[in-house]
Amino acid sequence: MRPDEETFSPETVDEQVEQLSRSLYAIPSRQGRTADAQLVQNLRRMYELEQEDARSVARVQRQLEQQGWLAPERRRASRPERGRRQERRRSEPLPELQAATYRERAAPRQRGWTFRLATIAAVLLVTTLIGGLVVGLVLVHTGKGSLPGQGTATAVPSGPTATGAPSGPTATATPIPLSQQSVYVASENGVITALNASTGRVRWSYQSMGQIRAVPNHYGEGSGLSMALSNGVLYIGSSAGVEAVNTRNGSMLWQDKIGGGQGAPIVRDGVVYVDAPTSLLALRANDGHVLWKQITTSAIYGLAGVSEGVVYVGGDNSPNYAFDANNGKLLWQNMDGGLLWGEAQGAAYYTTEGGGTECCLRAINGRDGTQRWTFDQKHEAVPYGFVGNIVYTSSSDNYFYALNATDGSIVWKSEDVHPVFTLWAKLFASFFYTSTNQGTVVALNPHDGSQQWMSPTFGNASVSPDIENQGTLYVSYQENNEADGAGVAALDVGDGTMKWKARINTIYFPTVEGVINGAVYLGTSIYGQGTVNTISAFSTSNGSPLWQYSQAGLLPGSLID
C-alpha cells in the first residue's frame, strides 16, 4: 500500500493514520518518507507544540498566582511533562523561580553561574546554527570572485508595496544613480557578500576563515555585524581572527589568525582594534602588523569604543577594561561589570539594571577609572546619545533627561511622552526622537526637552527612529498585527508628517540599515536558527521598492558604504 497515493477513506482512516505513524519510526529521516507520512508527523508535532505552549502559559499563570496577581485556579492533573528540564522547572519552588527570573534580569553582576549557564544555553542555540553550517565545511579563503556553491541567495525583484506615494517600477528596470556603492551582508557560515547598492545583485562573495557574528550597533540600537568599513577596506572580525578585504573586488589583503573575539573591529587613525578571547590587539590597518597586544585576566566581550586615546572593552557580567590606545597599557579595570554603552567627553558610561541600591547609570573617568558621577538610583536609565557636554538618557520613570556630562546634573527633564519602555530613541543633530506606546514617533527639542511634534500613528505598532538624512527621518515599524507585515516610513523632520510608507512581508521587526544616494535600506534583524533575514531597498523619493535580497542564515545587520 502506498498511503500517499490513496485518499484517506472513512472506513480505514484510523488504520491509515496508524500505518503512516509506524512508517515514521521505520524511516526516521525526512528523506524517504512519503508526503502523507510527513503530514502526519507535522500534525502530531503541531499539536504537541500547542500543548507545550499551553503548559508554558499555565506555568506563567502559576507564578502570577503565587505573587497574588491572579486568582488561584483549580487544575486537573496534567499529563506528565517531557524532559528533565521541564520536570526540574515544574518542581522548583515557584517563589524561588520567580526570584531567579528577576535576579537574572535585574542584577547582572549577581548572576554568576546562573546567568552564565542561561547565557550559554541561549548562545548554544545561536552557535549551533552557525556551527551546523560550519561543520564539514572546509574553510577556504578565496581571493576574488564569487564562491561557487556558497549559499543560494540571489538578488530578486521584490514584491513589497508602497503606500502614500505612487508605486514605482522595480530597480532592475529603473537604474538609480548609486554609483559603485555596495551593501555588505554576512551569513552564519562566514560568507560575506557585497551587493550592488542599486540593483541588489551580487558583486562578489568572500569566505572568511571563521564565523561572522551579529553584534549590536553602538548604544545597542538595532544590530550589526562584526565587521567595519574604512577607506575601501572591509575589516572582518571572525571566530578565527581578523581579515582585511578589498571592497572593490573581494580580494583578501591580509589576515591574522588571532582567535575570535566578540565585538566588531574598530578602525581609528589607521589602526584596527580587535578583540580576541582574552586579549586586545591593535593592528596596522595597511598590512595587519601587530602594533601591540594586551592580555586580559579574563574573557572580554567586545570593544565598546575608542575615544580620546582610550580603548574601552567590556561586556555584561564581565570586567570592563580601559587601555591606552597608543601602547595598549591597561589604564584601569572595573570588576563590577555592567553594560558599557559608550564613551564621550573622556568618560565611559555604564548601566546596571534594577532599583534600590543598584546603580543605574554611571560615568567613569576614562583615564583612571574613577567614578565621575551616578545618575538616578531609583530608575533604570539608558544613555542614547552624547552631544557636546550633554548626555541624553532615558529613564524607567518614562521621562528623558539631558545630563551634564561633567557632573551628572540634570539640564532638563522632558515632557511626559509616555513611552512604556524607552527602547527606541535616537539623537540626531537637531532633534531627539523616541517612540511611544501609541505607535508614534515624538520629536523632542534637544535643548530643553520640549515636544516639537508627534508623527501620525503607525497602526499602533512599534516604531524605531533609525536614520535621519536630508530632512527626512526614516523609521522602521511593525504593524500591530504582525501578520500584516512591517516596513519603513519617511517622516518630515520639520513637522513629523509622513511622506511615504512602504511595507514588506515579515513578522520580524525591521531596522533601517542606511540611506545613500536615493535609496533607503531596510533589514529584518532577528537572531535564531535558520532565520531567513532580508534586506530591502526602497526609493527615498517615494518609497517604491527597488530590490530585496533574502537568504537563510543571513545575519541581521549590514554595512553600507
Partner 1 sequence: MMQQRPRAASFDQASATALYQTYAPMIFGYLRRNTPSREDAEDLTLEVFLAAFERGGLAALPEEEQVAWLRQVARYKLTDYYRRRARRSSASLDDYADEMEADEALAPEHVAVQHEEERRLRAAVQQLSPAQQQVLRMRFSEGWRTAQIAEAVGKQEGAVRMVLSRALNLLRRLYRDEQEGGTLR
**Footprint of partner 1 on 278-297 (CB under 8 A):** none
Is 120 near partner 1 (CB under 8 A)? yes
246 Cβ neighbours under 8 A, 6+ residues apart: 232, 233, 234, 252, 253
Is 410 near partner 1 (CB under 8 A)? no
Binding mask 512-551 for partner 1 (x = CB under 8 A): -------------xxxxxxxx-------------------
Q: Which is nearer to partner 1, 67 or 327 (CB)?
A: 67
Q: Which is nearer to partner 1, 66 or 430 (CB)?
A: 66
| Interacting span for partner 1 (CB under 8 A) from 267-275, 360-368, 443-451, 454-462 | 454-462
| Interacting span for partner 1 (CB under 8 A) from 59-67, 370-378, 384-392, 540-548 | 59-67
* Percent helix / strand / coil, the chain, rounded to 5: 20, 35, 45
Q: Which is nearer to partner 1, 77 or 173 (CB)?
A: 77
Binding mask 70-99 for partner 1 (x = CB under 8 A): xxxx---------------x-----x--x-
Whole-angstrom Cα distance, residue 260 to residue 244?
A: 15
Among 33, 203, 213, 372, binds partner 1 (CB under 8 A): 213
Whole-angstrom Cα distance, residue 1 to residue 289?
A: 69
| Interacting span for partner 1 (CB under 8 A) from 116-124, 342-350, 356-364, 489-497 | 116-124
Q: What is the 3-state secondary structure (H, E, C) of 218-264?
A: HHHCCCEECEEEECCEEEEEECCCEEEEECCCCCEEEEECCCCCCCC
Three-state DSSP class for 474? strand
Torsions phi, psi for 38 (to 5 deg):
-65, -35
Q: Which is nearer to partner 1, 132 or 164 (CB)?
A: 132
Among 19, 24, 65, 387, binds partner 1 (CB under 8 A): 65
Is 462 near partner 1 (CB under 8 A)? yes
Is 318 near partner 1 (CB under 8 A)? yes
Q: Which of 361, 380, 382, 381 is nearest to 372 (CA)?
A: 361
Among 23, 239, 539, 540, binds partner 1 (CB under 8 A): 239
Is 61 near partner 1 (CB under 8 A)? yes
Three-state DSSP class for 483? helix
* Ramachandran quadrant class, 285 (left: phi over 0; alpha: psi -120 to 50; beta: rest): alpha
118 Cβ neighbours under 8 A, 6+ residues apart: 104, 111
Is 191 near partner 1 (CB under 8 A)? no
| Interacting span for partner 1 (CB under 8 A) from 48-56, 139-147, 326-334, 366-374 | 48-56
Q: Which three cell numbers stand for residue 228?
A: 567595519
